[in-house]
């Protein structure tokens, strides 16, 4: 039996948050851990939580603290540095940079529910041991 994975979404766009939550509800073995509106809020929630998510999915462009700054801070923090991070972006120009910063997944952001579901299913069922990185 597969273990369910908890996913923490870091996204400032409320419509995308709603789409993500709706799609996630339809995916077997996926549970929403929570939502943060920017990287600063995400770091605060993670630092103050006794239970951590299995995966963080973060938009790259957000106010206050963007996804790359958040990823950099996650990788510095011993408590949360081993949580795999998937970076969402509508542009693929930053793939190499987010990989160097330690992202395990680069997701091309889609507002199509079916595409998003396929992407999420793929990362939920992926094994992120070692240095494995994927682009979806």
DSSP state of 28: T
Q: Report which of 43, 60, 65, 71 is spatially closest to residue 94, judged by C-alpha positions.
A: 60
- Evaluate whether 35 touches 9 at the Cβ level (below 8 Å): yes
Mean pLDDT of the chain: 88
What are the tens digits of pLDDT across the range 91-106? 777 778 888 888 888 8
Q: Report how far apart the first and last C-alpha atoms of the chain are (Å, whole number).
A: 26
Question: Which one is the CATH code of 5-135: 3.40.50.2300, 3.40.30.10, 3.40.1280.10, 3.30.460.80?
Answer: 3.40.50.2300
What percent of the chain has pLDDT above 90?
53
For 5-22, letters b (16+ CB in 10 Å) and e give bebbbbbbbeebbebbee
DSSP string, 54-68: SEEEEES--SSS-HH
Per-residue model confidence as pLDDT tens digits over 34-69 = 999 999 999 999 999 999 999 999 999 889 999 899
The domain locations on the chain are: 5-135
């Amino acid at each position: 039996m597969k273990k369910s994975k908890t996913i923490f979404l870091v996204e400032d766009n409320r419509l995308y948050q709603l789409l993500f939550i709706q799609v996630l509800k339809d995916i077997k073995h996926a549970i929403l851990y929570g939502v943060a509106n920017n990287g600063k809020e995400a770091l605060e929630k993670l630092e103050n939580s006794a239970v951590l998510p299995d995966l963080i999915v973060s938009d790259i462009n957000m106010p206050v603290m963007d996804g790359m700054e958040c990823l950099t801070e996650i990788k510095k923090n011993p408590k949360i540095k081993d949580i795999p991070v998937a970076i969402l972006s509508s542009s693929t120009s930053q793939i190499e940079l987010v990989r160097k910063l330690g992202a395990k997944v680069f997701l091309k952001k889609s507002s199509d529910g079916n595409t998003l579901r396929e992407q999420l299913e793929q990362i939920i069922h992926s094994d992120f041991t070692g240095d494995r990185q994927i682009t979806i």
